[in-house]
Structures are given as structure tokens and as C-alpha cells.
Amino acid sequence: MIALAVLAVSTSAILVRYSSAPSLVVALYRVLFTTVLLVPFAVGRHRDAFRRLSGSDWIVASAGGVALALHFALWFESLAWTSVAASVTIVQAQVLFVAAGAAVFLSERVTRGTVLGVAFALCGIALMSLGDTVAGVAVTGRAPLYGNALALVAAVCMAGYLLTGRSLRQRIPLLPYAVVVYSVCVVVLFALVSVAGEPLVDYPPHEWLLFVGMAVGPGVFGHTVLNWALAHVDSSVVSVSLLAEPIGSTVLAFVLLGEVPTELTVAGGAVVLAGIALTTRE
């Protein structure tokens, strides 16, 4: 299921690049349509679960929704300023913040093997970045340093989202949890779109198809499946598995955008997978 989710989220950057709508609008409709798709199942099957949510549950879930909204807003905007390869790679620094946060706030055991696995994966990402730089990809974009900084802050927000999910998904069913978090995320993104003064409806049909595609792919089969996995495995495992996203995005960029990966990029992908395997085993 994690492998399916990673494949789904790997399409996100490609779909965002296909869209010409403002990044905040893209983020808003992706989460909005995902929520609309899930609400009927959540209400129909887990109506009582919503009533059982305590005040603290609502606060923690809302915090996760805010973190997710900021993650999408910052990461989608970063794709407008730097390359897909650089943005997707840097945002996966979230694994560092998740590992630290899980040890401090969730008392999850961090073994030497886990640290080694994360280190392997991060080294693999560094190799992938070096390969893209050699290929002349990582230096593309209007303002790469600004875009890379946005991606790094988005990584911190993603870590917050995963950590809050891990603390709640132990006892709250998937769909009620996802609907609450996504609903808060929609409200925050709508507020950001309103403040920015971006148009909400004046977009051609292909843009709406892209919005729906992001909701079904990265939304339902990506983030929602990852939320399911948080009830069954440690947050550090889910987090480090997301380091495979740059590999999926690289493959899709090759197939759909004609971007040929270098030998260093391929080697880095292999090291990332080794790190994921080691961390998951631990």
C-alpha cells in the first residue's frame, strides 16, 4: 500500500507542472476534490466516529490540516521557481524532521539501523541532485535558491502533518481522520487564495481535469493511503518511504517530459531504495 501511495504522489509534480493555474488555486482544488470524493464514504460508514472525537482530537487534526495546507502552498509554489527534480528532492528532507519529532514527541524507538537507513536514503537523494545538476536540470527555474528554500520549509510542514497523523491514526478510523484534516486544509487554502486575490473559477476545461486528476491520484491513492499506513507502521517508515518519490518523478519525467536521467541519478535512486529497505526492516 505504501508502494502504491508513493507511485501516486510521484505524479503530483508532473501534474502541477502541466497546470498553468496559480499554485495556491491548484493546491486548493486538489484537496477540495479529494475531500468531496471521501466525504460520502466517511459519513456513510463512520458517522459515529465523528461524534467520538474529543476536543483534543479536533485540535491535533486541525493542526495537521494547517500543516498540510502550508506544505502544499509552499511546495507547489516552489515548482514555479526551481526544477521539478530539485523541488521534489529537497522536500523529502522531511524525513529528518519526522525522525527527530517521532523520537521527541511520540517516543518512537530510533535504532542505529534506522539512522543508517535514513542516512543511506539521504545520500541517495544527494547523488540524484548531483546527477540532475550535471545534466543542467537543477539550475533551471526563475529563482532556484528561492524555490529550493520554499521546498525545504514545505518539508518541515510535511513532517508536522505526518507526526500529527501518527498520533491520531492509532485510534481514529482512516476516513473520518482524513476528512477532518483535509477539510481544515481546504479552509486554510481558501483563505490564502482569497488573500492573494487569485481567481477561483475562470479556468479552461483541461485545468479542471488536472485538478480532478490530482485529487484522485496524489490525493486519494497517495496521501489518503499513507494516512491508512500510519496506523500500521511507524511514522519514520512512512516518511522514509516517501524518499522514493524523486525516483518515481524522475521516471515519469523521462516518459512524459522526455527528461533522460543521468547515471548518477540512477545510482542515487538505487541507494534511496536501499535506505528505505533498511529502515523498513528495522
Distance CA 131, CA 134 (A): 5
Please identify every stretch of the chain with a pLDDT value under 70, giving residue numbers as ranges.
Answer: 105-108, 128-142, 144, 259, 261-262, 265, 280, 282
What's the grid cell of residue 68?
498540510
Distance CA 138, CA 76 (A): 16
pLDDT tens, residue by residue, 10-43 = 898 889 888 889 989 999 999 999 999 888 888 8
The pTM of this model reads: 0.78
What's the grid cell of residue 235?
511514522
Quote the pLDDT of residue 71. 94
pLDDT tens, residue by residue, 106-123 = 666 777 887 888 788 778
CA torsion sign for 97, 98, 103, 107 is positive
Alpha-carbon distances, residue 89 vs 28, 93, 127, 133, 174 (angstroms)? 23, 8, 10, 12, 28
E strands, the chain, where? none
Distance CA 67, CA 158 (A): 7
What's the grid cell of residue 88?
521534489
Let me know: does 12 contact 222? Beta carbons within 8 Å.
Answer: yes
DSSP 215-251: IIIIIIIIIIHHHHHTTTS-HHHHHHHGGGHHHHHHH
Distance CA 251, CA 245 (A): 10
Let me know: does 2 contact 273? Beta carbons within 8 Å.
Answer: no
